[in-house]
Structure 1
């Protein structure tokens, strides 16, 4: 079972300047439309990018939460870590609940 974090919990972590790695698993053209600052590692690149995942807790996001849930599950299994979280609802939830200036697409 994958662990999830809500957009409100993520926003609290950002505001508190907590140490974690934020990973965006969308495609480059999607990041150009709407960006909340994550490091871009498209879902298809995750298997060959495991060396880019640091030691800090990880939050993974996409547009709606489906691709990031897949990436979170893959990372948890392959890195054998329990501090990797899927952002529930993705960018769409962020736009709805945190920052309406983030474009929904």
Structure 2
């Protein structure tokens, strides 16, 4: 599993790169603050309900959560499901809000 800092991810977003962002937090967390990723809670990843992203197995997919813990778990699970290039956003949305803001 690769990792990326929030600053590196923000630079990619600002550069207009076409990114696949996946938020593995719960819906209420996503509603409070989100950077535009597809909401796919960790519980769905754990039960392999990943239809929304199954076509991205060969693409780079950036996974984030609140702190980087759940997204790390999601990355490991997705790798076992055949995803070739998952990237954990280190520090998650806590780091994003601290270093970049809302």
Give TM-score scaled by structure 2 length.
0.88
Q: Is the 8 A contact 1:23 1:58 kept in 2?
A: yes
1:72 is aligned, of 72, 75, 80, to 75
Give 5+ residue unaligned stretches, structure 2.
none
**1:97 aligned partner:** 99
After TM superposition, the runs of 4+ consecutive aligned structure 1 residues lying more than 6 A away are none
Give 5+ residue unaligned stretches, structure 1.
none
Query: Which deviates more from structure 2 when the two are superposed, residues 86-95 or residues 11-20?
Result: 11-20
Alignment of 1:2-81 (within 5 A): 2-46=1-45, 47-50=48-51, 52-53=53-54, 54=56, 55-81=58-84
Query: Which deviates more from structure 2 when the two are superposed, residues 52-61 or residues 69-78?
Result: 52-61
Deviations 1:70-91 (A, max 9, x none): 001111221141x210000000
Distance 1:60 1:8 in 2: 15
> How far 1:25 sits from its partner (Å)?
0.2
Give TM-score scaled by structure 1 length.
0.85
Closer, same or farther: CA 44–8 of 1 in aligned 2, 3 Å: same
